[in-house]
């Protein structure tokens, strides 16, 4: 085997193609009647071996040793390489048709290059005085001079005459320009186009072989016709056909020519198609590869496992294995794994010190277990506590792939803690996720230290918790900490359900009937002191702090919650001040445990208490209903105004719309008493007063393309209105609410604007996905070196201080450093 | 804007580009400062970020190829941030 020292991109010369080749291909048939490869056919044995047991005629290698050898085919008439169509066109109109010297000044060529120089081309050659003709190009491979076609033969003749110096000026690198016209075709080795033996015994050839057969066949036909002295038009026809086949051999998706098809009607995958696009050689096989020790399954929530864990189905755990080196200490355990065989927890393979791998089966497991010794490697099943990597696409930030400890379950889905859904952006409506098992100690250690969920609680994007409480966690802790008094019995039951008997025994002595705040305080670490406003804060003009009448000011002293309710501002993503402080002050271990126990306790409490909503939670009083109607009467008034001030009717409608919505929002907010929907809104668990207002108050103005509804018929939005109507109702203002229902026209406006939002969203994700890809590609090699400079892969400095301020946002407090809590 | 720039250039009118808020301060390092900087960073000068000698700011301060320019940038996170670029 030789080693690659360098790669040069350029054109192959006909001489080089022949030199590389081990055989000339002249026969379009592949096999003779015995099924044996025909000499000088496209499966000639000198092109390499694809059948096991055969030896290569050229190098003598077997299937793995011989990489294959190129062949060549002499084209009877030259053809254009379709990939250089445009380049050839530009050259042709920059050089003289007779002597091939440049038609432009050297300086001009240097300035505007091959792509622009033709614009300044002289009409007569200054070297030979030849008058030039107009050259046109018909994609992909046809050239005209005036009305006459220029044959590839003529083109080649012209290109041959270009001096090396002129070629250099035209920036033609990597070979002579005439090599862009093919006279000899390299035939790729069979190893890159292997045939498949079907169950029926027949052979199915690769797309590339099919295409090559076409090329050889046409070439031979052309040769015969020329030998027979066939008329010119027939020769030209076949020549053109040869051009088509060579073109599609190289690229089968060229515009303006029909792609070559398989018998089934499927377009053939030829050379360019093998390399291009996402599934092509570069992006599909080199940049990204498929891996072993990975699994993919639907995900489900599990409130009882830690955020650092992932539930792995037993059937998956039996397929995914961890290689473990046998040593003095673990030999007994390893022997047990082998003896279990395929019964969990068992082993699938054993690797001997000499590198041979053996599958553990029911028959040989006893034998292997006996043989097992220090230095053997056992590929054992995945067990509880193994480090795995869990991922959900699209992987937009580094928290899209985190390390979890495996927890083997009898179910059929991967399960994860709800706090981990935020960074993955996962839900359980059928989402699937991937699981990988690192195979060596270094990878496992690195994954555990850098990627474990609890070590990624703080997002490097904004320096605040991204792994946090959500939905029921928030409404649950709000309701719990609002509770004034809970019976001793209920407290014990709650804690037993959430944390088990041991926890209850340890805390029972001091436990009497107590408040929700006292129970919550059990989870807070000692030494924690913090005060902040909760999400339920009414934003009074002068905050009364701990004397807040709404219990919206949180006071925690030495780990005891004294005042205030715990909600989104304490535990939520980005906003959770309590969670943020615990992570900062006590580290990821304590923060991880805190999140685990909060979610367990709170969900247990909420389950016991019961938490449900219904449409009647949006009911409002008769009195409020009347107030709403009065507020909506403003539309009539506005409609009169728009008739008067026709120039700025839009402004008037928008202002009136806002006024009505605000007023109705106020009415609804003041009227609805605290029910479960309002609990969710106030605590920040889900929804907002806007949605509540839309449900029981008014929906408001709908917009399309950032403006009022204006499109549709001539001078009106739908045919239900008079032309030139300037009423609010005809331009997208929806007076109804979702609870009472919309009128058909209102419904249409609502749907139009919803459709716009939906389209915008799906188009946006496409854009941001591609932007992300480009950014990742551009920045992937940048790294903070040990001397605290940011450098690229050539060790050239990019930043002298990382991020200009030297702060790691993933270890900061909202992007900066909080000096107050630094000791 | 562009048209005006061309006209001024034709008239050979000098504009002080550093008066523009978007152009940060550039200055040439002295030999001593140069060696100090490279010593501090423990690098050869080729490992510095580059700036072309026909860069308008480089031309304006008269830096030559091989010089190191210190650029004092305003940073939204760090107030002021010193950047060093090798003129090539
Ligand atoms: Mg989903
Ligand atoms: Zn060989
Ligand atoms: Zn000439
Ligand atoms: Zn307040």
**Interface test mutation site (partner A, options B49, B74, B79, B85, max chain A beta carbons within 10 A):** B49
In angstroms, the separation between the Cα of residue B29 and the nearest Cα of chain A is 16
B75–A805 C-beta distance less than 8 A:
yes
Asked if pLDDT for residue A685 goes beyond 70, the answer is: yes
Quote the pLDDT of residue A33: 83
Sign of CA dihedral A51, A54, A57, A62: positive
Residues A692 and A684: their CA atoms lie apart, in Å, by 13
User: Cα-flanking dihedrals φ and ψ of residue A632, to 5°?
Assistant: -75, -15
Of A797, A803, A806, the CB nearest to B48: A797
Query: How does DSSP classify residue B45?
Result: G
**In chain A, where are the structural domains located?**
78-185, 294-456, 486-609, 616-746
The pLDDT-based confidence of B12 (bands split at 50, 70, 90) is low
Q: Does A795 touch chain B (CB under 8 A)?
A: yes
Cβ contacts of A329 within 8 Å, gap of 6 or more: none
B48–A787 C-beta distance less than 8 A:
no
Of B47, B77, B78, the CB nearest to A797: B47
Could you tell me which chain A residue has the CA closest to the CA of B42? A787
Asked if pLDDT for residue A373 goes beyond 90, the answer is: yes
Report all structural domains of chain B as residue ranges with CATH numbers, in order of start: 17-87 (3.90.940.20)
B48–A804 C-beta distance less than 8 A:
no
What CATH homologous superfamily does A486-609 map to?
A: RNA polymerase Rpb1, domain 3 (1.10.274.100)
The chain B residues in contact with chain A (CB within 8 A) are: 41-43, 46-49, 75, 77-78, 81-84
Q: Is B40 in a helix, a strand, or coil?
A: helix
Q: Does A786 touch chain B (CB under 8 A)?
A: no
Could you tell me which chain B residue has the CA closest to the CA of A788? B41
Quote the pLDDT of residue B6: 46
More confident residue, A382 or A4: A382
Angle at the Cα of A752 from the Cα atoms of A747 and A756, rounded to 5 degrees:
145
Contact A745, A718 (CB under 8 A): yes
Q: pTM of the predicted model, to two decimals?
A: 0.79
Chain A environment of B77 (Cβ under 8 Å): 803-805, 807, 815
A815–B49 C-beta distance less than 8 A:
no
Q: Residue written as tokens 């001489």?
A: A15
Q: Does A789 touch chain B (CB under 8 A)?
A: yes
Chain B environment of A804 (Cβ under 8 Å): 75, 77-78, 81
CATH number of A294-456: 2.40.40.20
A669 C-alpha to ligand 4 centroid (Å) = 18
Query: How does DSSP classify residue B7?
Result: H
Residues A430 and A440: their CA atoms lie apart, in Å, by 32
A429 C-alpha to ligand 1 centroid (Å) = 5
Angle at the Cα of A29 from the Cα atoms of A28 and A35, rounded to 5 degrees:
160
The pLDDT-based confidence of A173 (bands split at 50, 70, 90) is confident
**Would A294-456 and A486-609 be classified into the same CATH topology?**
no
Q: Does A807 touch chain B (CB under 8 A)?
A: yes
Chain A environment of B41 (Cβ under 8 Å): 787, 789, 797, 800
Of A797, A800, A804, the CB nearest to B77: A804
Quote the pLDDT of residue B11: 52
Write the DSSP assignment of A512-532 as a string of letters. Answer: SSB-HHHHHHTTSPTT--EEE
Copy the structure tokens of residue A746. Answer: 């209102």
pLDDT tens digits for range A80-136: 999 998 899 999 888 888 888 888 888 888 877 788 888 888 788 888 888 888 888
- Mean pLDDT on A650-658: 89
Q: What ipTM goes with this model?
A: 0.87
In angstroms, the separation between the Cα of residue B40 and the nearest Cα of chain A is 10
pLDDT tens digits for range A438-460: 999 999 999 999 999 999 999 99
Q: Is B57 in a helix, a strand, or coil?
A: helix
Nearest alpha carbon to residue A309 among A170, A216, A402, A222: A402
Q: Residue written as tokens 């991967």?
A: A414
B43–A800 C-beta distance less than 8 A:
no
Average pLDDT, chain A: 90
Residue A774 neighbours by CB distance under 10 Å: 9
Quote the pLDDT of residue B5: 44
Residues A735 and A61: their CA atoms lie apart, in Å, by 82
User: Cα-flanking dihedrals φ and ψ of residue A707, to 5°?
Assistant: -130, 170
Choose the CATH number for A616-746 among 2.102.10.10, 1.20.1250.20, 1.10.132.30, 3.40.50.1000: 1.10.132.30
B84–A800 C-beta distance less than 8 A:
yes
A163 C-alpha to ligand 3 centroid (Å) = 12
């Amino acid at each position: 085997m030789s080693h690659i020292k360098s790669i040069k991109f350029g054109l192959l010369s006909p001489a080089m193609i022949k030199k590389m080749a081990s055989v000339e291909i002249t026969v379009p048939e592949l096999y003779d009647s015995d099924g044996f490869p025909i000499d000088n056919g496209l499966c000639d044995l000198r092109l390499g071996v694809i059948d096991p047991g055969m030896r290569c005629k050229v190098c003598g290698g077997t299937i793995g040793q011989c990489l294959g050898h190129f062949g060549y085919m002499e084209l009877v008439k030259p053809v254009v390489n379709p990939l250089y169509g445009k380049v050839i066109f530009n050259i042709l109109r920059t050089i003289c048709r007779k002597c091939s010297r440049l038609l432009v000044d050297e300086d001009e060529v240097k300035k505007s290059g091959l792509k622009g120089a033709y614009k300044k081309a002289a009409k007569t050659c200054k070297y030979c005085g030849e008058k030039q003709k107009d050259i046109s190009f018909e994609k992909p491979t046809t050239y005209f001079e005036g009305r006459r076609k220029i044959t590839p033969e003529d083109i080649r003749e012209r290109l041959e005459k270009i001096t090396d110096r002129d070629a250099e000026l035209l920036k033609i690198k990597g070979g002579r320009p005439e090599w862009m016209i093919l006279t000899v075709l390299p035939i790729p080795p069979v190893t890159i186009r292997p045939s498949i033996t079907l169950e029926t015994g027949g052979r199915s050839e690769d797309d590339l072989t099919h295409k090559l057969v076409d090329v050889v066949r046409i070439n031979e036909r052309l040769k015969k016709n020329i030998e027979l002295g066939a008329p010119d038009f027939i020769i030209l026809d076949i020549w053109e056909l040869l051009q088509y086949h060579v073109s599609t051999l190289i690229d089968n998706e060229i515009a303006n020519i029909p792609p070559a098809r398989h018998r089934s009607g499927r377009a053939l995958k030829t050379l360019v198609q093998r390399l291009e696009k996402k599934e092509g050689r570069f992006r599909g096989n080199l940049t990204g590869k498929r891996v072993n020790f990975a699994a993919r399954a639907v995900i489900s929530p599990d409130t009882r496992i830690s955020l650092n864990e992932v539930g792995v189905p037993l059937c998956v755990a039996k397929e995914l294995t961890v290689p473990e080196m046998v040593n003095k200490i673990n030999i007994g355990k390893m022997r047990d794994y082998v003896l279990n065989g395929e019964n969990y927890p068992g082993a699938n393979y054993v690797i001997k010190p000499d590198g041979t791998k053996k599958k553990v089966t029911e028959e040989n497991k006893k034998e292997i277990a006996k043989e097992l010794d220090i230095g053997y490697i056992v590929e054992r099943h995945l067990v509880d506590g193994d480090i795995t990597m869990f991922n959900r696409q699209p992987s937009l930030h580094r928290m899209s792939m985190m390390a979890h400890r495996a927890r083997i379950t009898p179910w059929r889905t991967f399960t994860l803690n709800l706090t981990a859904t935020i960074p993955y952006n996962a839900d359980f409506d059928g989402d699937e996720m991937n699981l990988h098992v690192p195979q060596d100690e270094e990878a496992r250690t690195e994954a555990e230290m850098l990627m474990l969920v609890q070590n990624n609680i703080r997002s490097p994007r904004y320096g605040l918790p991204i792994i946090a409480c959500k939905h029921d966690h928030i409404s649950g802790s709000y309701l719990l900490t609002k509770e004034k008094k809970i019976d001793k019995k209920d407290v014990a039951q709650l804690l037993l359900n959430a944390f088990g008997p041991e926890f209850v025994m340890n805390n029972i002595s001091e436990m009497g009937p107590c408040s929700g705040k006292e129970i919550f305080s059990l989870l807070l670490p000692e030494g924690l002191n913090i005060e902040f406003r909760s999400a339920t804060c009414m934003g009074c003009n002068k905050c009364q702090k701990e004397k807040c009448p709404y219990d919206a000011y949180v006071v925690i002293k030495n780990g005891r919650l004294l005042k205030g309710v715990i909600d989104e501002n304490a535990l939520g993503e980005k906003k959770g001040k309590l969670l943020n402080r615990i992570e900062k002050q006590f580290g990821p271990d304590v923060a991880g445990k805190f999140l685990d126990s909060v979610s367990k306790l709170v969900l247990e409490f909420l389950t016991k208490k019961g938490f449900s909503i219904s449409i009647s939670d949006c009911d409002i009083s008769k009195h409020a209903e009347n107030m709403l109607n009065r507020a909506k009467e403003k539309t009539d008034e506005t409609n009169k105004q728009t008739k008067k001030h026709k120039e700025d009717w839009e402004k008037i409608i928008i202002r009136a719309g806002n006024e009505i919505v605000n007023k109705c929002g106020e009415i609804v907010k003041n009227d609805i008493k605290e029910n479960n929907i309002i609990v969710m809104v106030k605590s920040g668990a889900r929804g907002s007063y806007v949605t509540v207002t839309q449900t029981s108050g008014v929906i408001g103005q709908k917009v399309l393309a950032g403006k009022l509804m204006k499109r549709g018929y001539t001078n009106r939005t739908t045919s239900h209105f008079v032309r030139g109507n300037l009423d609010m109702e005809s331009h997208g203002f929806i007076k109804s609410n979702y609870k009472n229902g919309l009128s058909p026209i209102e419904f249409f406006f609502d749907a139009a604007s919803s459709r716009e939002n939906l389209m915008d969203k799906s188009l946006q994700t496409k854009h941001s996905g591609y932007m992300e890809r480009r950014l990742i590609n551009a920045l992937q090699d940048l790294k903070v070196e040990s001397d605290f400079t940011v450098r690229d892969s050539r060790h050239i400095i990019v930043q002298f201080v990382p991020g200009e301020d030297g702060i790691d946002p993933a270890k900061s407090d909202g992007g900066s450093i909080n000096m107050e809590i630094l000791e | 804007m562009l048209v005006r720039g061309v006209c001024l250039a034709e008239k050979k009118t000098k504009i002080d580009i550093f008066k523009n808020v978007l152009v940060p301060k550039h200055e040439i390092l002295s030999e001593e400062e140069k060696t100090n900087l490279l010593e501090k960073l423990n690098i050869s000068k080729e490992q510095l970020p580059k700036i072309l000698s026909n860069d308008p700011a480089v031309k304006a301060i008269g830096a030559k190829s091989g010089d190191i320019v210190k650029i004092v940038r305003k940073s939204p996170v760090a107030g002021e941030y010193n950047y060093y670029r090798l003129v090539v």
